[in-house]
Each structure stands twice: as C-alpha cells, then as structure tokens.
Amino acid sequence: MARKAETVNMVDQFAEFKELKNIDKTMMISVLEESFRNVLAKMFGTDENFDVIMNPDKGDCEIYQNLRVVPDGEVENKDMEIGLTAAREIDPECELGEEVAKQIFFEKFGRRAILNLRQTLQSKILDLQKEALTAKFKALEGEIVSGEVHQIWKREILLLDEDQNELIMPKEEQIPGDFFRKGDVVRAVVARVENPNNNPKIIVSRTDERFLRRLFEQEVPEIHDGLITIKKVARKPGQCAKIAVESYDDRIDPVGACVGVKGSRIHGIVRELRNENIDVINYTSNPQLFIQRALSPAKISSIRLNAEEKKAEVFLHPDEVSLAIGKGGYNIYLATQLTGYSIDVYRDIEEGEEDIYLDEFRDEIDEWVIDTLKDLGLGTAKAVLNASPEVLEQADLEEETLQNLLSVLRAEFED
C-alpha cells in the first residue's frame, strides 16, 4: 500500500508540472531528471550507473541501477555489482561481466529522501516559473498588453492578464484622468521587468511614450505596414502630445493618414488617453523648419539657432507668444522634447517700440529667474510687465522675488 501511495503522489507532482505555463516539456523533463539524480547521488554516492526514465504523460518515473554481474560471494560494492544468482532473477540470460538493470522503487528511498526530492522539485519549479516569466515579458517590453483589474491600492493597481500573470501599474504610470474599477479591462504597455530578490515584477504603463506609438500602429495601417514612420514623440500624459511622422511614399500624406477622415483614426487614441490633445506634424531633418512646425499653431517670425549647444531663440509677433507657449506652458515644453532643442521665445520688438530683452538685466536679476521667465515665453521687460497674474504664477516665484523683479523692470521705463 505504501508503494501505491507514493506513486499517486508522483502523479500529483507531474500534474503540477503539466499545469505550468511558459515552461516547455523538454525543460520540464530535464529538471525532473536532475532532481531525481541529485537524490540518487546522495543515496548511493554516485548517479553514473543509473538510468532515469521520465514518463510525464503517465505521471511516473522509472529508475534503473546498472550493476556488473560477478560470481556469487565476490560482490565488493553492492551499489556497483551484483551476484550471478541475483542477476539471473532479473535477467535469466545474463552472463558474468555483463550488466543488468535493476529497477529501483521510489518508496525505498525513505521518507527523508522523498521529502528532499519534493523540496528540490518545488524550488526548481519556482525558479523555472520566474525565469520563464521574466523572459516572456522582457521580450514584450514596449508592447501593449491587456489585463483585468484585480486589486486597487493607493499607490498601484494589480492587473491579471489572460494567463493570470500579475501586472503592476504604479500611480505614476497611470494617466491623470484614469479611473478604474475592479473587473475593468485595461490596456497598457510593458514598461520594464524588475527583479528584486529574484522575484519578477512586471511594470506596465499608460504614460510611457511607447504606449502612444503602439496605439498609432494599431489604428493606422500605414504605420503598421511601414509606409509611415513615427520619428519623434513627446507627451504630457493626460494633457497633450506631439508626434512627428514621415512617409516613405510620396503619394501618402502622413498627417492625414494618422488623423483619418474627420479624425476617425485619431479619435479612438484620444479617448484611450483620456482626451489627451494630440498634434500630428510632418517630420523634417531641417531643424529650423522642425522647430517651426513643433511650435504650431503659433506662427514664427524668425529663428536663431545654436546647433552646437542645441539652443534656439524664436521670435514671434506679440499675439503669437501665448500660442507658442500654450496653456500651462505645455506647447513649448512638448516642442522642446520633440526637437531636442532648448527653445527661448521672444516678442518681436517693432520699430519705434520701447522694450528691452531680459538678458540685459542679468546684473540686477538672478539668472535663474530670467531663464524661468524665458521658458514661459516672457523674453522682454514689457512682456513680463504686461503678463497676467495667472501667467506669472507659473514661474513659481516667491512674492518678494516677484515684486523685486517688477520693480526693477518698471524703473527702467520710468527713467
């Protein structure tokens, strides 16, 4: 009865292996055989004269000990040799000097050996699962996956994919407008695979720029087919994005193809991204023209480039400055990310107009304050003096610093 019980347990052990995902059969058999051989080596001092035959489909394992046949009474090492009489009980036709295969039954290893085997198997199973999970999702980095919301915590959400793999979406990887309930199906891109303490953690993201790229690939056949290429992407998740595209076929308008008839293609992407405003522009290798397109819808009067330092000074009509900056400074921020140039925006000073560029005040105003204001498109004294309180608030200056700044600028014109 004991032997039968142990056999049933082995069937259960194989069944556990057969249910594993992402682990191929060859690897499964290899690990099982290795585990058995480890036990054999401990029990008999070596596993070299053993055959381990795995039968995962049947759920069992056959073990044979190969013993050299010697005359009765001359057995010196019972783990390597067998007497002729005992050998012929196994194989009636065997002769001296030959080998016979003696079957070893699992239950005879003893309880401790059986326990060690199971612990070894469980450890190896766990390691295999972790390795397979890591390899699978490493290969999927940058690709879109779907998962059902399983748990919602303050700092992250736990998703389960169709194979019940756990996907973690931290708060910072969620679009600000995202709101999910348990059971919702969520799409995200595999951002990275972390492996703290050999414990794989799959991080997915909806704020990663690759999520926007993959959505366009899914919605725009020309991108999927390679006729249109996404050259650059810049995002402020949940707010706005700019994407630069290029066509390899002169007959295809890349911007029109991405937007679709009456916005049919881009609308689905916008909804997925919680109404993120997406501008699609034509890519060009001409930096001046690219910066001009990136600052759309603002119309630029002129651009002065410093290619070595990747800096651009952009001059616009006063009415265009706010468009170049955009609400919350998002337009100029995205243009900077998209082009790779640090962009300073200046008002055109018309002939006869009394105004002074802020750079002229570097002896009186801290450089960081001037740079902060220029990032908001306030490049001249009058631009700052005429700016609304809401715009000046975006500079995040202390009240004393702000009042000192305004005082210095006003004094220049009072003189």
- Structural contact between residues 189 and 174, judged by C-beta atoms closer than 8 angstroms: no
Low-confidence ranges of the chain (pLDDT < 70): 1-25, 56-59, 106-107, 349-353, 415
Q: CA dist 210 to 142, 184, 228, 237, 272, Å?
A: 6, 22, 16, 12, 14
Alpha-carbon dihedral sign for residues 204, 210, 212, 217: negative
Between the CA atoms of 183, 184, 188 and 191, what dihedral angle is there, to the nearest 10 degrees?
-30
Nearest to 303 by CA among 292, 317, 318: 292
What residues form DSSP beta bridges with 82? 69
Q: Mean pLDDT score of the chain, rounded to an integer?
A: 86
Return the amino acid letter for 366.
D
pLDDT of residue 56: 66
Report domain extents, the chain.
Answer: 2-135, 144-207, 209-283
For 198, phi then psi, to 5°, come to 55, 40
Query: Angle, to 10 degrees, between the axis of helix 25-44 and the axis of helix 111-139?
Result: 150
**pTM (predicted TM-score):** 0.68
pLDDT of residue 210: 96
CATH of 209-283, one of 3.30.300.20, 3.40.109.10, 3.30.1490.190, 3.30.1180.20: 3.30.300.20
Both tokens of 276, joined, read 């993120």
CA distances (Å), origin 92, targets 84, 229, 323: 10, 75, 98
> In this predicted structure, what is the pLDDT of residue 270?
94
Instruction: Evaluate whether 177 touches 238 at the Cβ level (below 8 Å).
Output: yes
What fold, for 2-135?
N Utilization Substance Protein A; Chain:P; domain 4 (3.30.1480)
Q: Which pLDDT does position 111 carry in this prediction?
A: 78
pLDDT at 364: 87
pLDDT reported for residue 8 = 38
Q: Which CATH architecture describes the domain 144-207?
A: Beta Barrel (2.40)
